[in-house]
Structure formats: C-alpha cells, structure tokens
C-alpha cells in the first residue's frame, strides 16, 4: 500500500503544471550563447532554441509569455514592438 501511495504522490507532483506568466519591458541585454534575454528590471528569460535573433536587441520593447520551471523562465511566446 505504501508503494502505491508513493507512486501516486510522485505522479501527482510530476503532473503539476509549471507557473505561467506574462510580462513586458525593454531588453537590457541579449546573450546569444546562452539564448537568454535580460529585461531592464533585471529578470532573465530563456529563448527557445529555434528563435531568430534578428530584431531582438537591447532597447527593444517586448511582451513575453513564459513558463517558470524550477528557476528558469522559459519564453513560450514573444511579441516585439517596432
């Protein structure tokens, strides 16, 4: 019975959704090697691997949707203001 309860607990923890959020701001820096951007508020966000970095540069205004998994803010959608 303990094994079944432990397995159920692990299954429930593994199926918990990541925290999702949205933010907007101005890009302070872009790290092309780590595929991260940092906004002027100091928070960093991980870009998806298939992203085209054209137009993503310091000073650009953006709105992003992201999931937080552990301590990583993974961008799921991004709009760039021109």
| All domains of the chain in start order, with CATH | 19-80 (2.40.50.320)
pLDDT at 18: 63
The pLDDT assigned to 31 comes to 95
pTM: 0.74
Residue 44 has a pLDDT of: 97
Angstrom distance (rounded) from CA 70 to CA 18? 8
pLDDT in tens, the chain (82 residues): 444 444 444 555 554 556 789 999 999 999 999 999 999 999 999 999 888 888 889 999 999 999 998 899 999 999 988 6
């Amino acid at each position: 019975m303990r094994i079944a309860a432990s397995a159920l607990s692990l299954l429930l923890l593994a199926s918990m959704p990541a925290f999702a959020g949205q933010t907007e701001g101005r890009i302070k820096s872009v790290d092309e090697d780590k595929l991260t951007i940092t906004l002027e508020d100091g928070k960093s966000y991980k870009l998806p691997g298939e992203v085209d970095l054209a137009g993503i540069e310091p000073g650009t205004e953006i709105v992003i949707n992201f999931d937080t998994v552990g301590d990583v803010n993974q961008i799921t959608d991004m709009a760039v203001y021109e």
